[in-house]
Each structure stands twice: as structure tokens, then as C-alpha cells.
Amino acid sequence: MLPNWSFHLLALTGFLVASSLAVAGEPAKVVVRLSDGSNGRMSLKLSPSKVPSGPVEFTIKNESRDMEHEFLFAPWSGPDSALPYDGKTQQVKEDKVNGLQGVEDLRPRQTVAARFTLTEGRYVLFCNEPGHYHDDMRANLIVGAAK
Ligand SMILES: [Cu+2]
């Protein structure tokens, strides 16, 4: 019979292999919640709001009972409220935002998983249904060592 310590050593080796694989191959995971809010304010909340660069898997939940929302993002170093905006349509001018990606038009109560590869930097995330960006459906995501 093996002495007790060798069992512990084997278990430890297995753990180290599993965790180094996780670093190399597993995407970072971010949960995004799109909400109308009970107080009438809309929100886009994410957790965590800081990830390493590389593949990121977003789980995007439209928590609304009756409204479509969407999840768009782009690299953006300015204030998250300062994206180019069209006051008439009440939407961010998507053609003026470089590197825009995301998932459009999530139905009420719909959850979507989507994977993107992100390089280091500061990103703005927002919903571009008319009026929603100015109604606080925006947030920042920090990737890598960016501030
Ligand atoms: Cu929205």
C-alpha cells in the first residue's frame, strides 16, 4: 500500500495540470444583465468588469419582460457617455464607432452566449435600442492591464 503522502502528491499534480489548462484554453466569463429596472431606469450591468485579454465568453441576459435590448461594444478610451450620438434617432451612430461588435435585438427574457477575442484596452458596452444608451444602458469593460 502507498504511504499517505503519495496519494496527496498525485492529487496535487492533477490539480496543477487542470488549472494550467484552464489558464491556457478557457475563455474568461462575463455575465451581462440588460434590464429596464424597477425604478424606470434602464441598466447594463456586467460581472466581472475586468478580464484578461484573449477569448471572453459573454452570457447576455435580457431580463426585460416586454422589451428588446441589445449588447454592443467597442474599444473606447473616453467617457462612456461620449460616443457619437444622433439626437434625432436617439441612437449611437454605429457607423462612427470603430471596432463595433456584439449581439443585436435580444428578445424579452432571452439569454445568449457569445464569444469574442478581446485585445488589451478599455471598452464601452451599450444597448442601442432608441433612447436606451442615454437612459444608462452602458458600462465599461477593462481588458488586460488597461486603466
Ligand atoms: Cu436596451
pLDDT digits (tens, 9 = 90+) for 89-144: 999 999 999 999 999 999 999 999 999 999 999 999 999 999 999 999 999 999 99
Mean pLDDT lowest among 9-13, 35-39, 75-79: 9-13
129: which 3 cell numbers? Answer: 435600442
Quick one: pLDDT at residue 24? 58
pLDDT surpassing 90 at residue 32? yes
pLDDT surpassing 60 at residue 9? no
Q: How far is CA 94 from the centre of its chain?
A: 18
Domains and their CATH numbers in the chain: 27-143 (2.60.40.420)
118 Cα: distance to centroid of ligand 1 (angstroms): 23
Beta bridge partners of 69: 106
68 Cα: distance to centroid of ligand 1 (angstroms): 6
Q: Could you tell me what percentage of the chain is helix, strand and coil, using 3-state DSSP and rounding each to the nearest 5?
A: 15, 40, 40
Helix (H) or strand (E) holding 119: none
3 or 70, which is more confident?
70
18 Cα: distance to centroid of ligand 1 (angstroms): 39
The residue assigned the cell 496535487 is: 12
